[in-house]
Structure 1
């Protein structure tokens, strides 16, 4: 019987994880940066320019949105600490996406390194 940690370890062995320094260049070069965290996590702060497609919906969204049809898209994925991103990268590779990278350490490592963080502004009702 496998645990979630076993699945993540196997996924990390199959994926291309990049460190924070390499992540900045990969993000600049990417066609899309996908945050696979839940919407409330995304709303609390995310990498500027990222789109939010939660891990549980990833395969379905990729299959239904024409902008993600090309299997040659340059994709950078991240989550909180990199487990969900590794699982997502494997799923995308299984779907035929050839240029998928995930950020080692995820959003927590990005923020801890002092990299830019976007937070949606709430409308002022005052």
Structure 2
């Protein structure tokens, strides 16, 4: 059986990644989309990176695929995508899946939202649901 730790290590060999302290330089730049993969309950509890697009991990592949009935326009752009989760494990696997699906210019925050907060990155509230 392949362990999650081994899967994450393999994903990190295949995709670009950096700690939050380095990724903070990309925050707010045109053409860069931060993607929060965490569960909605995590966003409620801890907030999120301001301006990030929330994509629950379980929907990522469906939202990326332009032929999916669930495709989201955010993933149909030429933006650079910076994925993150709580600690960098889900985002590593997600970035690898996105890259394998043909999403160009994808990377992830290797120490996750926890690293973002520790590095002093801005934190905002979860966006309100649209009526």
TM-score (normalised: structure 1):
0.86
Change (3 A) 1:56 1:120: closer
Distance 2:27 2:112 in 1: 13
- Counterpart mapping for 1:1-126 below 5 A: 1-29=1-29, 30-44=31-45, 45-63=47-65, 64-70=71-77, 72-120=78-126
Distance 1:56 1:27 in 2: 24
Q: What residue ranges of structure 1 are gaps of 5+ in the alignment?
A: none
How many residue pairs end up in the alignment? 121
Q: Is the 8 A contact 1:27 1:76 kept in 2?
A: no
SS of residue paired to 2:34: strand
Q: What residue ranges of structure 2 are gaps of 5+ in the alignment?
A: 66-70
Q: Which deviations, in whole Å up to 9, do the C-alpha atoms of 1:10-48 show, x marking residues without a partner?
A: 111111111223212222334311011111112221111
Computed over aligned residues only, the root mean square deviation of the Cα atoms, in angstroms, reads 1.8
Distance 1:69 1:104 in 2: 24
SS of residue paired to 1:28: coil
Q: Which has the higher helix share?
A: 1
Change (3 A) 1:60 1:25: same
Distance 2:106 2:35 in 1: 10
